[in-house]
Chains A and B, each alone.
Chain A
């Protein structure tokens, strides 16, 4: 069964304390991406990765970092979190083959609260 797994599901932390949200997929796909979802703004892409060691900025990359050292994992890093990064985060990978022109399979989400 195709899975995109994120951890943690919920996190409350304080401003400035570095955190990492992990994402792994079992589909052996090259493409992975991170989104944040905010009320009234919909899903916005933070970063994406076309392959191992290849990452690119999405629409809202400020304050985030990613890494792609292996195909299955794509962690999202907040080096110095701020309250405006309080949001619901989703990791995604294509549902079928490697092509971008297909539906995305999303993880269950990570709700981050930065105090």
Chain B
């Protein structure tokens, strides 16, 4: 079947390098954001979230940055691994609205 990754912006990254995925939102009142990872043939999986009273949050190999001034958030993946190949998308938690996503392809 057709992949959900088609028609999406694609980031190709060498294994071991860092990846940065960006997301813009429109609602200035949004105060909660979530990043999801979706591997081929699977449902979206929660990676990390951040509330608007923070501008940075770190997890295991992942960091989310939030810039409320320009309504932008980013997901940074450190030391990208082949298992990180997936579609990543952000969501505004309150509205459960979802970005269209970014395809990350890790080159071994």
Contacts and interface: CB of A to CB of B under 8 A. Distances in A.
Contacts of B46: 95, 103-105
State which size class the interface on B falls in: 20 to 34
A88 B8 CA distance: 16
Contact of B43 (A40, A45, A90): A90
A10 to B, nearest CB: 8
Contacts of A45: 96
B29 interface: no
A84 B46 CA distance: 29
B45 interface: yes
Nearest to B3: A39
Contacts of A33: 96
Contact of B89 (A42, A90, A107): A42
State which size class the interface on A falls in: 20 to 34
Given A41-B100, A45-B96, A108 B4 contact: no
A33 to B, nearest CB: 7
A111 interface: yes
Given A40-B7, A40-B8, A104 B96 contact: yes
A43 to B, nearest CB: 4
7 contacts: A42-B101, A101-B32, A102-B49, A103-B34, A104-B44, A106-B44, A109-B41
Interface of A: 4, 33, 37, 39-45, 88, 90, 92, 95, 100-109, 111, 113
Interface of B: 1-4, 6-8, 32, 34, 36, 41-46, 49, 89, 91, 93-94, 96, 98-101
Given A4-B43, A100-B96, 14 more contacts: A37-B4, A40-B6, A40-B100, A43-B44, A100-B93, A100-B94, A101-B32, A101-B93, A103-B34, A103-B36, A104-B46, A107-B43, A108-B42, A109-B42
